[in-house]
């Protein structure tokens, strides 16, 4: 099974994992890496490298922001390890983290998981409209 690293500014990654576990159950193959205000790019790259060395298996890195420091550090570490099986995507959200858990347990490859997450990303952001097909009573 693949490992999934959640990486984000502040403590978002740890809390994202905690929230996902609240809804999904234990996620032993999910790992959170925090990027705190007092840390720099080099420190974050070191954290990522150590985690990858410990896991020694295919890894999906799920970063919070495209081109943010967690994403950039992940890309830099991946480029230094061209033989490692690493996929990196940005736009981490709770619906997508939960979907990653489901997909990871389905036996799909990292690439299949990444493509599925990207294709369903637009479905996870919705706007409430009063005239939706549901009755108001369904929401109460």
Please indicate whether residue 68 or residue 57 has the higher confidence score (pLDDT): 68
Would residue 136 count as lying in a domain? no
Domain membership flag for residue 134: no
In which band, very low, low, confident or very high, does the pLDDT at 137 lie, cut at 50, 70 and 90? low
Q: Is residue 52 part of a domain?
A: yes
Judge whether 129 lies within some domain: no
Domain count, the chain: 1
Greater pLDDT, 131 or 37: 37
Q: Span 3-30, mean pLDDT?
A: 97
Domain with 31, as residue range(s), is 3-123
Would 104 be classed as within a structural domain?
Answer: yes
What percentage of the chain exceeds 90 in pLDDT?
Answer: 81
User: DSSP letters along 58-90, please?
Assistant: -EEEEESSTTSHHHHHHHHHHHH-TTS-EEEEE
Distance (Å, whole) CA 56 – CA 107: 17
Check pLDDT > 90 for residue 129. no
9 catalytic per annotation: yes
CATH of the domain at 46: 3.40.50.510
Average pLDDT, the chain: 92
Query: Per the domain annotation, does 128 fall within a domain?
Result: no
Please state the rounded mean pLDDT for residues 15-31.
97
Q: Which of 4, 5, 6, 9 is catalytic?
A: 9
Average pLDDT value for residue range 77-95: 93
State the pLDDT at residue 82. Answer: 84
pLDDT tens-digit map of 59-77: 999 999 999 999 999 999 9
Question: Does a structural domain hold residue 140?
Answer: no
Q: What are phi and psi of 91, to 5 degrees?
A: 95, 30
């Amino acid at each position: 099974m693949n490992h999934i690293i959640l990486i984000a500014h502040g403590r978002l990654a740890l809390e994202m994992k905690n929230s996902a576990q609240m809804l999904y159950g234990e996620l032993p193959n999910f790992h959170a890496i925090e990027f705190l205000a007092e840390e720099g790019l080099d420190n974050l790259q070191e954290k990522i490298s150590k985690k990858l060395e410990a896991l020694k298996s295919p890894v999906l890195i799920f970063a919070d922001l495209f081109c943010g420091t967690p994403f950039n550090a992940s890309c830099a570490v991946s480029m230094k390890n061209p033989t490692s099986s690493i996929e990196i995507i940005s736009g981490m959200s709770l619906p997508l983290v939960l979907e990653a858990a489901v997909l990871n347990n389905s036996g799909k490859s990292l690439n299949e998981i990444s493509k599925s997450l990207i294709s369903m990303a637009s479905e996870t952001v919705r706007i409430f409209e009063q005239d939706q097909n549901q009755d108001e009573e369904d929401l109460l």
